[in-house]
Amino acid sequence: MIKFENVTKIYPNGYTGLKDISLTIEQGEFVAIIGLSGAGKSTLIRTINRVHDITKGKLTVNDIDVNTLKGKALRKFRRGIGMIFQSFNLVTRTSVIKNVLTSNVPDLPFWRVLIGAYPKSQKIAALEALDKVGILDKAFVRVDHLSGGQQQRVALARTLAQNPQIILADEPVAALDPITAKQVMNDFKRINKEMNISILINIHHVDLALEYADRVIGVKAGEIVYDGPSNQVDQLVLDNIYGGQEIGKMGA
């Protein structure tokens, strides 16, 4: 369970990222966060694994007060939270399996990381993660030989290999074509249902958000302006979130 209690985030330059956010997300929910660029979607997601610190309020994840974590405890906490990025953030000049194996890096002795000697059990776990996202046959191919959609699946497998309870995804399909975007969203949905992993996803494509997520959170200027089931989002809600501006539609 992720619980925001009156959370405010002010950046060092004075910019307010989040304004007095209160929010509860239960284990196993599929939440889409929508809003304009700069509204605070990324900030919201990145406070959960404390890539960003919060300024005021309290943020607890599974009853752990995130803002008190330091050093080793913080790294251990981050082990349970996977993260997916818009630009995949893979090491493109090495093989797919090596990228998946990097999720085990925090648990390994330094010399193993240095020479890339990963234990066999982890290699099998990595291959199983690749199988779950359907690209087992690409395991020993270099990442830069894969398409964008395949690369995002490698990133997803990398996250699965760390057995997270929560996956945070920051614009995971923004760099993908509509068809591939749907495939990746299907992967998210399946992982969410089969493994009961909470998924929080920042997304610009409103129609994908409404189609795949159970719950939609609309963010505007650092505040939550909508929080409810995705099937209750109508034009009025969207107009409010996007301030009456043109909505980024995508056709597939």
Partner 1 sequence: MKYTLSNGKQVEQKRSKTIFIVLAVIAMSWISVVMTDFSFKVLFERGKRFFDILISMWPPDIGYLKFIWTPLFDTIKMSLLGSAIGSLCAIPFAILASSNIIHNKIIISIIRLFLSLVRTFPTLVVALIATYIVGLGTLAGTIAIAVFTFAYVGKILYEQIETVDMGPYEAIESFGATKLMAFTAGILPQILPSYIANCLFCFEGNVRYAALLGYVGAGGLGLILNEKVSWREYQSVGMILVALFISVMIIEAISHYLRKKLT
Binding site for partner 1 (CB under 8 A): 49, 51, 74-79, 81-83, 85, 87-94, 98-99, 102-103, 105-106, 110, 113-114, 155, 158-159, 162, 164
The CB-of-105 to partner 1 minimum distance in angstroms stands at 5
Backbone phi, psi, residue 57, to 5°: 90, -170
The CB-of-235 to partner 1 minimum distance in angstroms stands at 36
For partner 1, which is the closer residue by CB, 191 or 216?
A: 191
DSSP H or E segment with residue 5: strand 2-10
For partner 1, which is the closer residue by CB, 43 or 159?
A: 159
Report helix, strand or coil for 48.
helix
CA gap 24, 27 in Å, rounded: 10
The CB-of-206 to partner 1 minimum distance in angstroms stands at 26
Q: Report the phi/psi class of residue 60: left, alpha or beta, with left for phi > 0 and alpha for psi in -120 to 50.
A: beta
For partner 1, which is the closer residue by CB, 81 or 216?
A: 81
The CB-of-202 to partner 1 minimum distance in angstroms stands at 14
Backbone phi, psi, residue 132, to 5°: -65, -30
For the chain, what's the residue count?
252
Report helix, strand or coil for 156.
helix
For partner 1, which is the closer residue by CB, 200 or 241?
A: 200
